[in-house]
Amino acid sequence: MENDKSAVADRPMFGRRDPDARGYFGAYGGRFVPETLVAPIEELTAGYLAARDDRAFRGELETLLTHYVGRPTSLYETRRLAAECGGGPSGKAVGAGAAAAATAAARGPAKAGRGVRILLKREDLAHTGAHKINNALGQALLARRMGKRRVVAETGAGQHGVATATACALLGLRCCIYMGAEDMRRQALNVVRMRLLGAEVREVEAGSRTLKDAINEAMRDWVANVTDTYYLLGSALGPHPYPLMVREFQSVIGYEARRQMLDQVGRLPDVVVACVGGGSNAMGIFDGFLEDAEVRLVGVEAGGDAIAPGRHAARFAGGSTGVLQGTRTFILQDEAGNIEPTHSISAGLDYAAIGPEHAWLRDLGRTEYVHVSDADALEGFQTLARLEGILPALESAHAIAYAMRLAAEVADDTVILVNLSGRGDKDVQSVVEALR
Amino acid sequence: MSRSGGQGRLDETFRRIRGANAGPGLVTYITAGDPDVPRTEGILRALDRAGADVLEVGVPFSDPLADGPVIQRATERALASGTTLSGVLDMVGRLRGDIQAPIVLFSYANPILRLGAEQFADRARDAGVDGVLVLDLPLEEADEFRQLLASRGIDTILLLSPTTTDGRLRRAVSLGSGFLYAISRLGVTGARDAVADGAEEMVRRIRAVSPLPVALGFGISTPAHVREVGRWADAAVVGSGLVSVIADAGASDDLDSRVEEYVRWLKS
């Protein structure tokens, strides 16, 4: 990135890796939308490209990220979790002694054979409790800049809805959130939060009553109200420019994490692990390390309770290419091209398509994808709570669970960075039910 | 200026509609497989008997994001009855010889891509499909598909909206064939009390740049609407209103006659 001498630190990384003019990352992406939305999406693209070149816009976002969101979020090295994952030199199960050794080692320079190290990028500490606020604030500023007075958004786990409601409250925009009835049930706390923040929450009874159906309904609202309404999409999905725009607003995660790794650990991680629903937190952290060819980038999809139709949301495990909600990517579909129902214990990963840039990076061999079951995610949730005093979002718990699995397999001095994309307070009820 | 598909049925139909003393044309939309494919066949025959000029046949898709509640429900019923794009193509093939009106398939992109665009085009030609409209395949994505259809004599029906800019409008009219489908208002499909205010202006904009026939849809459900639209457009499209009639009739024996009666009423 060129040297910018302005006062603006420019943490979100704008303009580094644009899709082609039609919005394609390789064979994925594009704009598969009804005619009514084409002109508004072109207007949005032009509005976004102008905003990201505007120093005043970037400066305002930067100020809010610092003083309102609380960025940079911390990079935290786990002690007891790493020890629990066979972090001893022999690779055997270890007790308190090894944990103490790991703690000591973490304070000094890394020593070969000390054991696997697991670090967490603490997006759960961002205002509203998840990475979603990075994108919601960026797009809400854009909505205001484009003269839109009303914002619609979809939400699955409710974190994007809360972040959007928050940004709208901050900027004085009207806010309407669509949420599947099933998700409203399992994320009841976030529904209350959104309403307290002044947003209207509309229940979606169609289809599987989850994230996909909420997106359909938000797009229907947008089609009907395009002149004054901004659609604030919450993940790196949908028609161009959303996958680009959302990744760029989330790139602050990877930018900070890379610097923090160098400052605090003195080296880059060997592996970066992030959960992938649509894939915005993963794109955000991966973005900081894409050019570091030696850093493995692993996305964790929801394995649900089985890799069988309707029982999971692992698009790369059970999917194929197709078009859903404006973008060409990997989707879960049946023989006739209908979208298959999905299942995950985490509402935020319970979605039939993956962001198109993920599909492209996977084709290039730059990123890899695995899946983690509901049961393992629950185990990851509990482990992190007990050993580190952190309740992770069930989405992020998938990344934790995979990091634990990975730690048991890799060389002793491997450094694993996990994006802890959100906090788990919203999931307490679901976890209690699942453990019953 | 004619870009008729080789089958030419749409051109012929609109020539007749534009001829002396013909009333406004009527384009009818139904969702295939609602309530099931055998009864859809009966409905299409009834529509043809009642004088519908063009039959739009909707292919059910799990995520119909451009459709309002009435067609969403129809889609759910159609999917529940096991209807697929492949089954719809077979059905059109069975009916084609018995039906006079041109048949236009209305689909979302994914079922077509899943079947394979080229295989779809072959099967559509073999079945005697006259035109295809893909709701979420705007001009920018439609080039290759349009050529696949054109080389098989099938018209690509393009949709134009109040938000369509003049530049896109000119591109669309140079690429479309058969007729142009203008939507009269922003928003999803669904019957309304009145024809949208901007509808006449919308048709005028299109007329200024294209000789292609224009059918106007979204929100039309009464004879008064049809007559009003007929003053500026070549035809009115009735969708949700008809789909509601089908939903109300459900499994009753008089489904076909109710459909026929509704269409005759619309044309009255």
Taking phi over 0 as left and psi of -120 to 50 as alpha, with beta for the rest, A121 belongs to beta
Res A351: pLDDT? 94
The reply to whether A148 belongs to the active site is no
pLDDT of residue A367: 98
CB contact under 8 A, B136 and A226: no
Q: What is the ipTM of this complex?
A: 0.94
Does residue B37 carry a pLDDT above 70?
A: yes
Give CA A176 to chain center in angstroms. 21
Domains of chain A: 25-71+131-249 (3.40.50.1100), 75-127+251-435 (3.40.50.1100)
- A353 contacts chain B (CB < 8 A): no
State yes or no: pLDDT of B157 exceeds 60.
yes
Provide the 10 A C-beta neighbour count for residue B258.
Answer: 16
Q: Above 90 in pLDDT, residue B197?
A: no
Please calculate the CA angle A418-A399-A231 and round it to the nearest 5 degrees. Answer: 95
Instruction: Give the number of residues written for chain B.
Output: 268
What CATH number should be reported for the domain holding residue B71?
3.20.20.70
- Helix A35-52 to helix A242-260 angle (10° resolution) is 30
For chain A, give the number of residues: 436
Distance in angstroms (rounded) separating the CA atoms of residues A346 and A186: 9
Residue A432: other Cβ atoms inside 10 A: 9
A203 contacts on B by Cβ (under 8 Å):
none
pLDDT at B116: 98
Compute the count of residue pairs across chains A and B with CB atoms less than 8 Å apart.
Answer: 115
Q: Is the CB of residue B80 less than 8 Å away from at least one CB of chain A?
A: no
Helical packing angle, A132-145 and A55-64, nearest 10°? 140
**Count of CB atoms situated within 10 Å of the CB of A18:** 14
Question: Peptide bond before A241: cis, by omega within 30 degrees of 0?
Answer: yes
In tens digits, chain A (436 residues) has pLDDT values of 444 444 445 577 888 899 999 999 999 999 999 999 999 999 999 999 999 999 999 999 999 999 999 999 999 999 999 999 876 333 334 344 444 444 444 444 433 345 899 999 999 999 999 999 999 999 999 999 999 999 999 998 899 999 999 999 999 999 999 999 989 988 899 999 999 999 999 999 988 888 999 999 999 999 999 999 999 999 999 999 999 999 999 999 999 999 999 999 999 999 999 999 999 999 999 999 999 999 999 999 999 999 999 999 999 999 999 999 999 999 999 999 999 999 999 999 999 999 999 999 999 999 999 999 999 999 999 999 999 999 999 999 999 999 999 999 999 899 999 999 999 999 998 999 999 8
Closest residue of chain B to A22, computed from CA coordinates: B140
Please give the tally of structural domains in chain B: 1
pLDDT at B188: 82
Evaluate the CA torsion angle A129, A311, A154, A356 in order and state its sign.
positive
- Show residues of chain A in contact with B161, CB under 8 Å: 34-36
Tell whether A220 lies on the interface with B, counting CB pairs under 8 A: yes
pLDDT for B192: 78
* B186 contact A CB<8A: yes
Q: Does B85 touch chain A (CB under 8 A)?
A: yes
Whether B37 and chain A come into contact, CB under 8 Å, resolves to no
At A106 the pLDDT is 46
A121, A132, A148, A426: the active-site residue: A132
Rounded to two decimals, the pTM is 0.93
B172 → chain A, closest CA residue:
A35
* Residue B30 pLDDT > 50: yes
Residue A34 has what pLDDT? 94
Q: Pick A325's closest partner by Cβ from B65, B161, B187.
A: B65
pLDDT digits (tens, 9 = 90+) for B97-135: 999 999 999 999 999 999 999 999 999 999 999 999 999
Please give the DSSP secondary-structure letter assigned to residue B66. T
A32/B138 touch (CB, cutoff 8 Å), yes or no: yes
Higher per-residue pLDDT: B197 or A319: A319
**Which of A178, A338, A342, A351 to probe the B interface (max B CBs under 10 A)?**
A338
Q: What is the pLDDT of residue A302?
A: 98
Rounded to the nearest 5°, which phi and psi values hold at A296? -75, 140
Containing domain of residue B213, as a range? 3-267
- Cα–chain center distance at B36: 19
Is there a contact between B187 and A223 if contact means CB atoms under 8 Å apart?
Answer: yes
Catalytic residue flag (residue A154): yes
Report how far residue A327's alpha carbon sits from residue A23's, in angstroms, rounded to the nearest whole number: 9
| pLDDT value for A9 | 56
Judged by phi (left if over 0) then psi (alpha if -120 to 50, else beta), residue A365 lies in left
What residue type is assigned to position A352 of the chain?
Answer: A
